[in-house]
Amino acid sequence: LIKQKRGPARPAAFRAGCAVAMEAVRILQTIGARPRRTIRLALWTGEEQDYFGSLGYVEKHFGDPKTMTLQPEHAKLSVYFNLDNGSGRIRGVNLQGNEAVRTIFDTWLRPFNYIGATTLTTLNTGGTDHLSFDRVGLPGFQFIQDEVEYDSMTHHTNLDSYERLQPNDMMKNATIAAAFAYLTANRDEKLPRNPLPVPATGRGSTQ
C-alpha cells in the first residue's frame, strides 16, 4: 500500500506518512470494504541509510537488483504506492516513466480533482523507497505532495514537530490512498509494468 519511515527519533513529517497509511486502512475497514486481493501496509526504516528497510524487503521477497534474479512473489505484486513528503496535500502521482498507467490513474484521480489532485507526470522522482521496487521492475509510485515547509524549514531540523503538520490535508491524503489501494486490489489484472531493468552489475558495460 503505502510506506513511511518509522523509528523512535523520527520527526513529525516522517511520521505523517505512517498516520496517513494507517488511516487509509482504517477507512477501508470502517466502510466494510472487501478487496479481492491483499492490501499490505509497509512502514519502513533505514531509508536515509540507502533504503535499508525497503531494499531488504524487496531482495527477500521479490528479487535482487544486482543480478535481476527474481523470486516467485515478483509475479504476484501489482503495485507499490509511496508517501514520503510530510503532511502536504497530494496533488497527483509521478508515473516513473510508466505511461501505460496514465489513463488508469487519471480515472482514479478524477473524483479528487476538486481538491487539487490532478497531476500525472511521466517524470521519475528519486530519493525514497519506491525506487527499491522500481529497480526490480515492479511498479512503484511516489505521490506528488505540496512541499509546505518540507525543504525550506522543517525537513531534517529540530523544527520538524507536530505543530507543523497539516491535519486536513492528511485526511484528504488518507482518502486518496484508500481509494488507490482498493481500486488496485479490485482490478481484474495487475497494473502494467515497465520492462525489466538491466541487472545493476551489467549497467554501463560494453557489448
Plot region of 86 (φ>0 → left; ψ -120 to 50 → alpha; else → beta): left
The pLDDT of residue 108: 98
Beta bridge partners of 80: 140
| 168 contact partners, CB below 8 Å, separation of at least 6 | none
The pLDDT of residue 7: 47
| 118 contact partners, CB below 8 Å, separation of at least 6 | 91, 92, 109
Is the pLDDT score of 206 beyond 50? no
Please state, rounded to an integer, the average pLDDT across all residues of the chain. Answer: 87
pLDDT tens figures, 77-102: 999 999 988 888 999 999 999 999 99
Least confident stretch, 1-5, 20-24, 105-109 = 1-5
Q: What angle do CA 90, 91, 95 make, to 5 degrees?
A: 100
The grid coordinates listed for 36 are 479481492
